[in-house]
Amino acid sequence: MKKTLRNPYLPSWEYIPDGEPHLFDGRVYVYGSHDLFNGWVYCLNDYVCWSAPEDDLSDWRYEGVIYRKEQDPNNPGGEQCLYAPDVTRGPDGRYYLYYVLDHENIVSAAVCDTPAGEYSFYGFVHYPDGTLLGNRPGDDPQFDPAVLTEGDKTYLYTGGVCFPFEKEKGGAMGMLLDRDMLTVLEGPVFVVPSAKTSAGSDFEKHEFFEASSIRKFGELYYFVYSSVQMNELCYAVSREPLSGFRYGGVLVSNCDRGIGGWKDPDKRTNVGGNNHGGLLEAAGERYIFYHRHTNGTEFSRQGCMEKLTVLPDGSMPQVEMTSNCGGEPLPGRGEYPAYIACCLFREGLGHERRDPVMPRITQDGRDGDEESGYVAGITDGVTVGFKYFDCRGVKRVTVRTRGYAGGRFEVRTSLDGEALGEIALSFRNRWTSFGAPIEIADGVHPLYFTYRGPGSAMLASFGLE
């Protein structure tokens, strides 16, 4: 039996940002960088892979470590981190993984006979004269490679980090590779502008920052990227792989800017941050994969996905962050873990991940411990929200909390609505359930829990009865 789709789609103790989903022979494989829980910089772990059947994206299987940072000849001691990768099946049927080390400006490649086996170092992307891509005078630094193979042609895209105040970097670049998957035959050419080159274009205010990703659906090429807004994934579309891209719009924001449920579209319902992901078309549906920030830092990111609506002209409107991946609503009965929260903020608090009093999704233990996540840092004015539930006959709501908090949770089905009821808490140093008779009208609703009172609570789960 299929499980319900939930965000994050991987276990709560796994930290895979920059997710690139690819469909190979009936299975979806997700490739990304690999953060460390409680890490101090980005991407401290080796590459791993998870996969799921095309028709059941709730059934993820751990494929293991596919590439270790020490395998790159420029990193034998493992001091450098493996930044966001991408994978393609080449013309020869083998699988090629492209990546950039955190202190390099060149693109490395590894190869494997299967999508999720052990990849071996293959070489560096270079020009026909042997000069490495990124080392030729005038080259932009290489970053965040994306790759697409059509028949015997493979297109590589790179570029970033393009801050608006920088005047040196031109944006996202694309190029054609030879059949050896390493030699640049054409390009690089700029395909999506940075703030330096966007004047007069439809990319203004949503220029390329980083996080290249490329797909082709039908006759259209979709280039997904992180914009200078630093929280959103946008897309550009063209009928040609290396030219003609026009701005398409925002796909998702990891702070729900512009769509978060408030009357003010610029008001956020999460702490945002860098974003990276890719498109997937599987079993007749299209999804955007992205990541959220957890643990109160930039360095413990988790993969999420949302189902998209594709309009007749091929455009895709922005979707909101949800607990149910934008799919069928979750059953309005039973107990749900708090780490599936898609809305987490405190009234009057700025959107800085390093704020010591910010609410955050975290876990006990160390990196790799299979500990269930929970929400911590719940102080007066914090709202924890979940979307969406098909509620039928709900008469009671419970929460499982711990911590020195003697206040109450107000329960709502609208951010701006009246409270349906309150659940009183008392100080506990272990997980304890509290409940109250609260009726929720029949129908599909979001659920919001706003804490009022002294102390700081942690929320492990909530229940609908």
**Residue 139: CB atoms within 10 Å:** 17
The mean pLDDT of 12-41, rounded to a whole number, is 97
- Which of 67, 75, 72 minimizes the C-alpha distance to 31? 67
- Which of 207, 164, 180, 78 minimizes the C-alpha distance to 122? 180
CA angle 418, 424, 430 (to 5 degrees): 135
Do 351 and 272 contact (CB within 8 A), yes or no?
Answer: yes
Lowest mean pLDDT among 13-22, 27-36, 254-263, 329-338: 254-263
Measure Cα distances from 272 to 218, 324, 458 in Å: 33, 19, 21
My answer on whether omega of the bond before 252 falls inside 30° of 0, hence cis, is: no
Phi, psi of 63 (to 5 degrees): -95, -10
Is the pLDDT at 27 greater than 70? The verdict is yes
Rounded to an integer, what distance in angstroms lies between the CA atom of residue 303 and that of residue 12?
10
Greater pLDDT, 415 or 148:
148
Query: What is the reported pLDDT for 1?
Result: 43
Is the pLDDT at 355 greater than 60? The verdict is yes
CB pairs under 8 A, 24+ apart, for 319-322? 319/251, 319/252, 319/259, 319/288, 320/252, 320/256, 320/259, 320/260, 320/261, 320/387, 321/7, 321/252, 321/253, 321/254, 321/256, 321/269, 321/270, 321/292, 321/387, 322/7, 322/387, 322/388
Query: What is the reported pLDDT for 354?
Result: 57
The count of C-alpha atoms lying within 13 angstroms of the C-alpha of 434, restricted to the half-sphere facing its C-beta, is: 22
Is the pLDDT at 3 greater than 90? The verdict is no
pLDDT digits (tens, 9 = 90+) for 209-220: 999 999 999 999
What percent of the chain is modeled with pLDDT above 90? 89
Give the residue numbers annotated as catalytic, written as ranges. 18, 210
Q: Where do runs of H (alpha helix) occur along 69-193?
A: none
Rounded to an integer, what distance in angstroms lies between the CA atom of residue 396 and that of residue 155?
55
Rounded to an integer, what distance in angstroms lies between the CA atom of residue 440 and that of residue 154?
53
Is the pLDDT at 352 greater than 60? The verdict is no
The domain spans of the chain are: 20-307, 330-464
Is the pLDDT at 309 greater than 80? The verdict is yes
Query: What is the reported pLDDT for 350?
Result: 52
Tokens at residue 421, please? 């009821």
What percent of the chain is modeled with pLDDT above 70? 96
Do 232 and 291 contact (CB within 8 A), yes or no?
Answer: no
Is the pLDDT at 166 greater than 90? The verdict is no
The mean pLDDT of 453-465, rounded to a whole number, is 97
CATH of range 330-464; options 3.30.1520.10, 2.40.160.60, 3.40.50.720, 2.60.120.260: 2.60.120.260
Is the pLDDT at 358 greater than 70? The verdict is yes
Please, which residues have CB within 8 angstroms of residue 114's CB and are 6 or more apart in sequence?
Answer: 95
Query: What is the reported pLDDT for 275?
Result: 97
The mean pLDDT of 439-462, rounded to a whole number, is 97
Query: What is the reported pLDDT for 168?
Result: 77
Do 110 and 100 contact (CB within 8 A), yes or no?
Answer: no
Is the pLDDT at 419 greater than 70? The verdict is yes
Q: How far is CA 371 from the centre of its chain?
A: 21
pLDDT digits (tens, 9 = 90+) for 232-272: 999 999 999 999 999 999 999 999 998 866 667 677 899 88
Mean pLDDT rounded to a whole number for the chain: 95
Do 434 and 423 contact (CB within 8 A), yes or no?
Answer: yes
4 burial level (CB within 10 Å; 0-12, 13-18, 19+): middle
The mean pLDDT of 52-79, rounded to a whole number, is 97
pLDDT digits (tens, 9 = 90+) for 370-416: 999 999 999 999 999 999 999 999 999 999 999 999 999 999 999 98
Is the pLDDT at 178 greater than 70? The verdict is yes
Q: Does domain 20-307 have CATH number 2.115.10.20?
A: yes
Rounded to an integer, what distance in angstroms lies between the CA atom of residue 56 and that of residue 282?
10
286 burial level (CB within 10 Å; 0-12, 13-18, 19+): middle
Query: What is the reported pLDDT for 263?
Result: 62
Rounded to an integer, what distance in angstroms lies between the CA atom of residue 138 and that of residue 12?
43
CA angle 204, 207, 212 (to 5 degrees): 155
Tokens 């579309």, located at residue: 237
- Which of 24, 140, 128, 40 minimizes the C-alpha distance to 81? 40
Q: What amino acid is encoded at 45 in this protein?
A: N
